Chains A and B, each alone.
Chain A
Amino acid sequence: MKKVRVATIWLDGCAGCHMSVLDIDEAILNVARRAEMVYGPLVDAHEFPKQVDVTLVEGGVSSQEDLEKIRTVRQRSRLVVSLGDCAVTGNISAMRNQTPTRKLLERIYVEGADVMRVVPSDGVPALLRHAVPVHEFVKVDLHVPGCPPSAKAIAFVLEELFEGRVPDLRSKVKFG
């Protein structure tokens, strides 16, 4: 059986959704059997591969870099799955949206710092005005809310996708 090429990507999130993926207990054996992990924080690959079957996206789109990443992901993935509330709704990553980015950075790096009180500019991607859900920039094929989504929901989603079905998540998942 040909293995399903699965990638995961981490945008503006806390890694909690990735932890929840690792938390699926024995279902992970099924994943190992059915899938080849081709990219993600858990995999040693530098570039996002050309052809991916399923990409799980953690985090909102918050910076210029996130935006470039998610566009690449969309181009190269058959299915894009928003995994967790930050990817689905903006959630925690969007809690900064009420503060203009300049003010926000100054509050953290100048007012909030004791030493090196400057806003970093070298080698850090520019923030977008708002951190937004993934589907506000690219088409998303499946939303799996939760902060983080339960391991049970993730295991169910992966199993259904491996079987070539679109999982029906109604009443199985919730925000928060």
Chain B
Amino acid sequence: MADKISVRIDGEYVAAQQGQTILEVARAGGKFIPTLCWLENLSPVGGCRLCIVEVSGVGRLLPACTTPAQDGMSVTTNSEKLTQYRRMALEFLFSERNHQCAVCVSNNHCELQSMAQRLGVTNVRYPYSFPKMRVDASHERYVLDHNRCILCTRCVRVCAEVEGARVWDVSGRGIHSLIVSDMNRPWGDSKTCTSCGKCVEVCPTGALAEKGFGVEEMVKRDRKVRRLAGRRGGHV
């Protein structure tokens, strides 16, 4: 049995186990911390910065999904400052690609869109970059629309960690990053993709979708995938 520790979350003492992340402890205690790149049972990467929290005695904000809880730690999960930073993180995501919710397959079923609503983002203060982005429709069943991708890497992780196919990777750096399949070849030409659809189900936005779905029609169902991921026992 792992060592028991005690952590203070928003002033309340919560029992936890050594090795749990702040996010896991907070969730077990019924606290809501916004997340986007994190998905239950996939290895956390700390990429989107939505889950940042304040830890007493630490000068900077830390991502709850990757920071291990420590005995005696005191964590604040919600504050005006955190909300400001979380909104900024969302606004950057919107400004970096092209999101037109009204004509998106995932309209009304999108985690980015609903997170913006939940955190009160009613506009984006940064100039939009309007990048020219490709749509890869070469796979016979699925589409990847880079316009809607937030680079959360859930697809990369689920394909490698759960399906074991390792089709996806991230190429480039910073704003030039791009999700690529099989060394940057069209998805449809992939020799490793098993067409299992797991990446599509866990993608939080309209970036990965099944073909044949119109505006608003793509509803993701990631429960089965999360359960499968949980059976692997621990992260790779």
For chain A, the count of residues having a C-beta within 8 Å of the partner chain is: 28
B contacts with A: majority SS: loop
Task: Indicate the member of B94, B98, B118 with the most A CB atoms within 10 Å.
Answer: B98
Asked if B177 is at the interface of the complex by the 8 Å CB criterion, the answer is no
| A97 in contact with B130 given A145-B123, A174-B114 (CB within 8 Å) | yes
Contact of B108 among A82, A92, A176 (CB under 8 A): A176
A98 proximity list for chain B (CB < 8 A): 98, 130-133
Q: Name the residue of chain A whose CB is nearest to the CB of B131.
A: A98
- B97-137 vs A, CB cutoff 8 Å, 1 = contact: the mask equals 01111111001100001101110101111011011110000
Question: Do residues A89 and B107 form an inter-chain contact, with CB atoms below 8 A?
Answer: no
A170 proximity list for chain B (CB < 8 A): 120, 122
Contact of A94 among B101, B104, B117, B128 (CB under 8 A): B128
Question: Do residues A174 and B123 form an inter-chain contact, with CB atoms below 8 A?
Answer: no
Give the shortest distance, in Å, between A111 (CB) and chain B (any CB): 19
Question: Do residues B130 and A94 form an inter-chain contact, with CB atoms below 8 A?
Answer: yes
For residues 109 through 144 of chain A, which have their beta carbon under 8 Å from a beta carbon of chain B? 130, 132-133, 135-136, 140, 143-144
A174 proximity list for chain B (CB < 8 A): 101, 113-114, 116-117
Alpha-carbon distance between A167 and B104 when the two chains are bound, in angstroms:
28
Contact of B102 among A82, A97, A130, A147 (CB under 8 A): A147
Question: Do residues B100 and A171 form an inter-chain contact, with CB atoms below 8 A?
Answer: no
Question: Do residues A85 and B117 form an inter-chain contact, with CB atoms below 8 A?
Answer: no
Q: Name the residue of chain B whose CB is nearest to the CB of A99.
A: B132
Question: Do residues A91 and B102 form an inter-chain contact, with CB atoms below 8 A?
Answer: yes
Question: Do residues B122 and A88 form an inter-chain contact, with CB atoms below 8 A?
Answer: yes
Question: Do residues B117 and A171 form an inter-chain contact, with CB atoms below 8 A?
Answer: yes
Contact of A169 among B94, B98, B104, B122 (CB under 8 A): B122
Question: Do residues A147 and B101 form an inter-chain contact, with CB atoms below 8 A?
Answer: yes
For residues 50 through 103 of chain B, which have their beta carbon under 8 Å from a beta carbon of chain A? 94, 98-103
Q: Name the residue of chain A whose CB is nearest to the CB of B100.
A: A91
Q: 28 pairs across A/B with beta carbons < 8 Å?
A: A85-B100, A88-B123, A89-B99, A89-B100, A89-B124, A91-B100, A91-B102, A92-B102, A94-B100, A94-B128, A94-B130, A95-B100, A130-B130, A132-B127, A133-B124, A133-B128, A143-B122, A147-B101, A169-B120, A169-B122, A170-B120, A173-B117, A173-B122, A175-B99, A176-B101, A176-B102, A176-B104, A176-B113
Seed contacts A89-B94, A92-B102, A174-B117; 8 additional CB < 8 Å A-B pairs:
A85-B101, A89-B124, A94-B98, A98-B133, A173-B117, A175-B101, A176-B107, A176-B113
